[in-house]
Structure 1
Amino acid sequence: MKSPGHIQVDDELLAKYLSGEASPEEAMAVDDWADASGSNRALFDQAMKLWEQTSPGNTWQLPDKLAVLAAIRKTQKPVKIVSVNRGRWSAAAAVLLLLTAAGFYGLLHKTVAPPAPLWVTRQADKAELHDTLPDHSLVSLNNSAAIKYVSGFAGNTRTVYLTGNGSFDVTSDPGKPFIVNAGDIAIKVLGTVFKVQQDSSAITVAVTSGAVNMYRNSSNLTVKAGETGIYDRHLQQFRMAVADSIAQHGKSFNFTNASLKSIAAELEKAYGITVVFKNKRLETCTMSSAFDNKSIEFIFEVISITLNVQYRIEKDTVYISGSGCN
């Protein structure tokens, strides 16, 4: 007999269980009964053996449930009745339903992780490296310098990570700012030509044309054409560079298709400097440009970018090197 809210396990229910006709509640009741004691487990195992022995020999045909029931009643003592609370089954079913629903919801609303960005790295080895970026901006990297950026400049900015020293000629795109991350600071531009130099004490940005904004956290410094901004690593402060002994102003030049040798000669007279060509073939390179009240660093920076040469200033001497002209 069944008591209200409970399921009784008897011979008939065992036969239904073995034949696969038991309901989920009934199957749970049988499982609980079998686990309740060693004697119950022994009776269950014997019933299972009878089920297997009653098989007609064809693997595709199930044993007869009534025959198994008769065998159980003939060979076994009456099965001890056990009851299982329907509330337990209802709670388990509710938990299973919630887990299934949660899994299905998660499958429908699964967030697809965006693909990892593809990084491009360019590094100058023993010689200066000249490269064109995805937006057609130009970059020149000094020996051992390197840049890294996301392929195609994906995103709202054109962000470049610079290690070492390099020069940039940036293509203007007001809707997508160009940002160079150099050491402790960032340099934001829209379209300009500038050079970045880094060492253990400072980060220097010399602007040839246009303007840039050097910034770190809430501190920033705007550097315009002909100016040089400096970030002091130790003080963690920005400042404008002070003109040195050969960075004199008040000179005007207008070179038209002039050779680099003749340009150097005029600059030597005007500034009292000495220009040394490490590669004599560079003396025949020609360019046209006008300079009005510009520092000697500014002038040689323009020469460097225009003719694809390198320069180094040591006291009153300027050394020019490179493999050839553009």
Structure 2
Amino acid sequence: MKNYSQFDTEDFVQDPYFRKWVLGKLPPGDSFWPTWQSAHPGRQEQLEEARSLVVALQPDDRPADPDEVRLAVQDIMNDLDDRRRPFPLLRIAAGLLLLAGLGWWVWTALLPPGSREEVNRSALPRKIQLADGTRVTLSPNSRLKISEHYGQKKREVSLTGEAFFDVVRNPEKPFLVYAGNLVTKVLGTSFTIRATDDRVSVAVRTGKVTVYRTEKKPGSALSEEMILLPNQQAVMEKASLVKTLVEEPVLLESPVERFAETPVNEVFHRLEKAYGIRILFEEDQLKDCNFTATFTRESLFDKLSFVCETIQARYEVVDGQIVIDGAKCR
């Protein structure tokens, strides 16, 4: 067994067993690397750096012609502008080329400084930290492009696939995500974007998010604009942009568990506060209705269904809010 505790980043990248783990090619029952990672928390940063390189370069195990590799690396080094700081990963990439042959890295190395594309071809989510501290969890088969000038005046990225963003707050430099025909603009919050060829959705976890179309209406600085709050989402499908609720709203405060002959108006107010979702109903219409129940792990929609069934009412999601329709209680 190799002594992985003595490995540096380059050693991990060149190790076939490590590469197979990162790329999801190990048998399902092989838990060596997760166990090793847990036992060596001080090596986390090094492992993440090695993981990023393996995923980006996607090396295979075919031998390359040494002379071809040597000439290619030399050409890249000669092409680098003398004013540009040498690429810190050049030595590692050259080692990978010796293992994997010429490939995607040759194109990547010639990108302008600061401009890059992160691709997750593995079967597991991949965590990425941007220059300002913003954290992105990139889902499998997803792609994130980071602007060359990220963080200078604006913070801009573009997404294909799915990612969860935890954005560091900076009111002076908005964070923009371009996905399909939709732009998501935030100052600092957390949210998930799913972008496919025919559908884009933005679901908010915390904070406030603004979304709008990339195409603008004539005479307007921005196209149709929509403000999203926690547990709300915008869905753009077939050129239609609508606001609704996420499929499974999460609790923002302590769970609502017990009600004993509690006025229904209070029940709705407590649910509204717990989930951060506005619940609209006629106060006078339901003032004489009471509700008794104990909730455990039911979803918000299950709770609403139970309450409405008890008082002979119904609910509907309209424009990211919940509307209750019911008759007077007697």
Q: Same fold (TM over 0.5)?
A: no
TM-score by length of 1: 0.40
TM-score by length of 2: 0.39
Please tell me whether Structure 1 or Structure 2 has the larger radius of gyration of its CA atoms: 1
